[in-house]
């Protein structure tokens, strides 16, 4: 199974800050990676697929990069509605499909 490791597990930031979240795969997954945003009590929402492709309707302040084993989600200027938990997911090798442990973006 491919293990997905996210860091940090939580980050405190202010509105307007640039935030970067990292996801590492235990083996190479090419660019087959997704990022999701989840707010409390809500279902996850797809932000990025194929490592860097923005899902329709997602603001351009979100961007993804990386390939192989190392990936990054960047929020260029944090907005109040971006405070949430973010998950990466490998889409390459299954079963099983696997998620990272999550990164909680909190208000500083």
Partner 1 sequence: EVQLVESGGGLVQPGGSLRLSCAASGFTFSSYEMNWVRQAPGKGLEWVSYISSSGSTIYYADSVKGRFTISRDNAKNSLYLQMNSLRAEDTAVYYCARANDYGESGSVYFDYWGQGTLVTVSS
The residue count for the chain:
108
Among 21, 25, 84, 87, binds partner 1 (CB under 8 A): 87
Q: How far is the CB of 34 from partner 1 (least distance, A)?
A: 5
Strand partners, 90: 33, 98
Residue 99 sits at φ, ψ, to 5 deg, of -110, 155
Q: What is the CA radius of gyration of the chain?
A: 13
* Count of residues engaged in binding partner 1, rule: CB under 8 A: 26
What backbone phi and psi angles, to 5 degrees, belong to 81? Answer: -80, -5
Site for partner 1 in 37-76 (CB under 8 A): 38, 42-46, 49-50, 53, 55
Q: Which residues bind to partner 1, rule: CB under 8 A?
A: 32, 34, 36, 38, 42-46, 49-50, 53, 55, 87, 89, 91-92, 94-102
């Amino acid at each position: 199974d491919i293990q997905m490791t996210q860091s940090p597990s939580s980050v405190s930031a202010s509105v307007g800050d640039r935030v970067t979240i990292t996801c590492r795969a235990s083996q190479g997954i090419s660019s087959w990676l997704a990022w999701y945003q989840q707010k409390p009590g809500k279902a996850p929402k797809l932000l990025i697929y194929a490592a860097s492709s923005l899902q329709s309707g997602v603001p351009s302040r979100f961007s993804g990069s990386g390939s192989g084993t190392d990936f990054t989600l960047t929020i260029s200027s944090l907005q109040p509605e971006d405070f949430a938990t973010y998950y990466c997911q490998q889409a390459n090798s299954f079963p099983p499909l696997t998620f990272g442990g999550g990164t909680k973006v909190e208000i500083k």
